[in-house]
Structure 1
Amino acid sequence: MAKIIPFHAVRPAADKVSLVTSRSYEEYSAAELASQLDFNPFSFLHILNPAYMNQQKAGLEKRFKLVAQKYRDFKSEEILIREEKPVMFLYHIHSKTRDFIGIIAGTSIQDYQSDVIKKHEDTLQYRVELFKDYLHQTGFNTEPVLITYPDDEVLNQWIGLKRQSNPLYEFSTTKKEKHTLWKIDSDEDLAFLEKQFDAIGNVYIADGHHRSASAELLYEEDKGTGNDHLNYFMSFLIAESNVRIYEYNRIIRDLNGLSKTDFLEALGNHFWVKNKEQELWKPERKFQFGMYLDGEFYALQLKDENSFTSIADRLDAQILYDKVLHPILGITDLRNDERIDYIPGNQSITTIKEVVDEGDFEIGFMLFPTEISEIKSLADNKLIMPPKSTYIEPKFRSGLVVYEI
């Protein structure tokens, strides 16, 4: 039974919302970031990067304190305002190709610890501790954990009715996305949502494993302080059929000393290899892999699809590692080996071709996207995915809703 709660959200003033909210800090190029910080005084990026002119001179602790101070400045100037009573939100993202809609609410640390909220990715301890320190120093988080729940017809009907009411915000971005936010503050609606999620049972983290792990670590360290906000973390809850799962494609810098002929021959031990020449070919189903090498595309079909006993071993990302990346190309550490890099599957495969043709990388591999059923099966069996297996949308805009700790 999944517990969700309303919370005293902080959000932009209505007349400034399109100026305040931003994409994830990491998505901006240096030029884009500089432009936003130079010409948009309302951008939430000023909070996330308060020392941008002297970033190299600010240590982490000092930078986190600057973030906290800038956040307080935005509140004192009423660029950001705090809800008078606990609320939830309904949030809709519309792009040229996809619509996403879900509930923004607080989710329970206790549910996270008891595996009501299920996980499928491993975390890096240094990243967990770093973000925990960030939360401790700044006292807020604007990056919700993306959580999926099984499709629920009653909840879908409620969402459909809520969308007919007047929204709190409705604005567009330079990425040609339309964002709509409805405030949920009536006792009746809040009680309905809490009851509905209580009946759903297990929910699954789609994106944000490090953020949820950091929230748990902060809770364990500070739970004796009497701060009830530590008992929850902000989540964006979305029906599993509405989540978009892309693959992460791999690009490799060299063939590990092998000639092209020897490499193709080694592939033949486990794959049927077909030269597609200049056809922009990508996998059409599980157990198929695309490859770009020496100006040509190849289709790789796994020869033995029935040789796996483990759910994790059947993952295409794991198969590519076990059959190609590790034994043939000599890559052992998918997170830290400088010979490998990743391109999310929402980018065209021509991106892989361009990167390889430029010469910094020698070969690219395209994977078939992981199914939500595979992710759930892994989580149910307490198994984890290989690093960089999935790129999941939607992505949340920074500064749209803030959870204070």
Structure 2
Amino acid sequence: MALIQPFRAVRPSRDKVGLVASRSYESYSKKEREARLRYNPYSFLHIVNPGYKFHREVSGEDRFRLVRNRYLEFREEEIFIRDETPSLYIYKQKTRKHVFCGFLGGASVDDYKNDVIKKHEETIRTREELFMEYLDTVGFNSEPVLLTYPDSAPLEKVIAEVTAAVPEYEFTTTDRITHYLWKLSNPEKIAAVRNEFSAMKSIYIADGHHRTASSVLLAERRQQINPHHTGKEPYNFFMGYFIPESSLRIYEFNRMVKGLNGLSKEDFLIRLDEYYRIEDRDTEWYKPSKKHHFTMYLDGEFYSLYLRKTAYRFGDVLSTLDPQLLYDTILKPVLGIADLRNDNRIGYGSGKNNIVDMKTQIDKGKYTVGFGMLPLTMDEIRATADAGLKMPPKSTFIEPKLRSGLTIYSLSEI
């Protein structure tokens, strides 16, 4: 049974919300960050990059404490205001092609530990621990974990009823996405939402595996030092954006590799012939239309790779996924990429135009060869998570991408 918890969000005042909310820090180029920090004093980037105020870089515990200080300043200046009553929030993004709409609420640490919230990616312990220390010091979640649930007519009915009213927020960002937020405080409607989630056997992490794992570590730490632990404290939850499965947009990550592991171009192609039927498409842009087909770009030419089904034995769910298949047949045995997370010879390209980016980077000499594939499906993600398996890193690029600072989940009662 899945749990969604109302909470008292800390959020921007209505007149400043469009100035405060930001994309994730890493998604900005250095020039973009500098411009926003210089010309927008309300940007949430000032909180996550507190050293800007002192014209210096800060890191580690010093940075964590300064993040906390900037956050408190925003609250003292009433740029951020905390809601009086626990609520759920309905958040909608409208792009030129898609509409994403779901619930912002507290997700349960216990649901994650009990495998109600299922994961499909492996996490790195050192990253978990670092972000746990960050959360423990700053005392808030500012970017929700993207969680997905089976489509539900009762939940759609609640969303339709609430969004018929004037939103609390409505603003458009420079990427031409319009953002809407409604506050859901009605006890009967909250109960209806919670009852519907309680009937769900499982929900799934779409994006935010490390943030989730870090929140679990923090809860375990605080439980151990709290002699009056009840399970209702804020640290037992983390902020999630719950969205129906049909609303997700899933894209692929390309793989790009430096060098051919000592092989000549001709020897490399001969090695690939063991597993694939290869067609040289010259300068014709090629994108796969079927599973187990790949794009390859090498030496200014596109190739199509079609798996020889008699040459590869499928076993568990993981072995049927194209990112795993590419690893098993090319990246590891031919190119010598054993560690997909830490080998600096491999790079990844994501999003809707990643074949263009892949070709550009290879033509510039940054990489030697690149591979493209079809995106995975929600069925594949669900099957992998249900089997308790973990996909290779950078297997999915999932939208929506959420704003930081739109709603903040406080890890304390104040």
TM-score when normalising by structure 1 = 0.98
Q: Which residue of 1 aligns with 2:373?
A: 367
Aligned partners of 2:173, 2:58: CA distance in 1, in Å?
31
Quote how far apart the aligned CAs of 1:282 are. 1.1
Aligned residues of 2:254 and 2:354 also touching (Cα < 8 A): no
With over 3 angstroms needed to count, the CA separation of the structure-2 counterparts of 1:175 and 1:381, relative to structure 1, is: same
Q: Distance in 1 between matches of 2:174 and 2:291?
A: 35
Runs of 4+ in 1 over 2 A off after TM superposition: 52-59, 224-227, 345-348
Residue deviations 1:89-135 (CA, integer Å, cap 9, x gap): 11111112221111000011111111111111110011100100000
- Of 242, 259, 273, the residue aligned with 2:247 is 242
Name 1:74's counterpart in structure 2.
74
- Sequence identity, in percent? 48
1:262 to 2:267 alignment = yes
Moved more, 245-254 or 73-82: 245-254
Q: What is the SS of the residue equivalent to 1:51?
A: helix
How far 1:56 sits from its partner (Å)?
6.0
Distance 1:123 1:138 in 2: 22
Written as runs of structure 1 = structure 2, the 5 A alignment for 1:257-296 is 257-296=262-301
User: Whole-Å Cα distance in 1 between the matches of residues 366 and 189 of structure 2?
Assistant: 55
**SS of 1:319 mapped into structure 2:** helix
SS at match of 2:15: helix
SS at match of 1:374: helix
Deviations 1:156-183 (A, max 9, x none): 2222222211100000000011001111
Report deviation, 1:381: 1.1
Q: Map Cα deviations across residues 325-365 of structure 1 (whole Å, 9 max, x no partner).
A: 11111111101111110000322411111111001111110
Q: RMSD between aligned alpha carbons?
A: 1.3
Equivalent position of 1:301 in the other structure: 306
Maintained 8 Å contact 1:280/1:350: no
**Alpha-carbon distance between aligned partners in 2 of 1:59 and 1:94, rounded to the nearest angstrom:** 36
Cα distance, 1:53 vs structure 2: 5.9
Confirm or deny that 1:322 pairs with 2:333.
Answer: no
* Counterparts in 2 of 1:358 and 1:53: CA distance versus 1, 3 Å: farther
Aligned 1:380-391 pairs, distance under 5 A:
380-391=386-397
| More deviation, 305-314/176-185 | 305-314
- Matched residue, 1:332: 338
Query: Which secondary structure does the structure 1 equivalent of 2:93 belong to?
Result: strand
Tell me which amino acid in the other structure corresponds to 1:214: S
Query: CA contact under 8 A between 2:171 and 2:179: conserved in structure 1?
Result: yes
The answer (yes or no) to whether the contact 1:254–1:363 under 8 Å persists in 2 is: yes
Q: TM-score, normalised by structure 2?
A: 0.95
Q: Aligned-pair distance for 1:52?
A: 2.8
Instruction: Give runs of aligned pairs for residues 160-179 of structure 1, distance below 5 A.
Output: 160-179=160-179
274-283 or 381-390, larger mean C-alpha shift: 274-283
Q: Please, which of 364, 368, 381 is the counterpart of residue 358 of structure 1? A: 364
Partner of 1:190: 190
Instruction: Quote how far apart the aligned CAs of 1:54 are.
Output: 5.5
For structure 2, the 5+ residue unaligned runs are: none
1:388 is displaced (CA, Å) by 1.0
- How many Å separate the matches in 2 of 1:285 and 1:98? 24
Indicate the residue corresponding to 1:341 in structure 2: 347
Q: CA deviation at 1:88?
A: 0.9
1:57, CA displacement in angstroms?
A: 5.0
Q: Distance in 2 between matches of 1:327 and 1:11?
A: 50
Quickly say closer, same or farther: Cα 1:106–1:237, change in 2 above 3 A. same
Three-state SS of the structure 2 residue aligned to 1:15 is coil
Give the match for residue 35 of structure 2: 35
Corresponding residue to 2:317 among 311, 316, 324: 311
Bigger Cα displacement from structure 2, 50-59 vs 252-261: 50-59
Distance 1:36 1:313, change over 3 A: same
Unmatched tracts of structure 1, length 5 or more: none
Q: Letter of the 1:377 partner, please give it.
A: A
Structure 1: distance between partners of 2:56 and 2:393: 29
Assess, with a 3 A threshold, how the Cα gap between structure 1 residues 5 and 320 changes in structure 2: closer, same or farther.
Answer: same
Q: Where do residues 101-180 of structure 1 align in structure 2 (5 Å cutoff)? A: 101-180=101-180
Alignment of 1:26-105 (within 5 A): 26-52=26-52, 58-105=58-105
Check conservation: 1:249, 1:345, Cα contact below 8 A. Answer: no
Q: Match of 2:6?
A: 6
- Distance in 2 of aligned mates of 1:271 and 1:17: 52
The answer to which of 48-57 and 325-334 deviates more is 48-57
Q: Distance in 2 between matches of 1:159 and 1:17?
A: 22
Conserved in 2, the CA contact under 8 Å of 1:2 and 1:198? yes
2:25 maps to what in 1?
25
Q: Per the alignment, in what secondary structure is the counterpart of residue 238 of structure 1?
A: strand
Aligned AA (1:357): D
Question: Structure 1 residues 55 and 307 mapped into 2: Cα distance closer, same or farther (>3 Å)?
Answer: farther
SS of structure 1 residue aligned to 2:137: helix
Count of residues paired in the alignment: 405
Cα distance in 1 for partners of 2:255, 2:170 equals 37
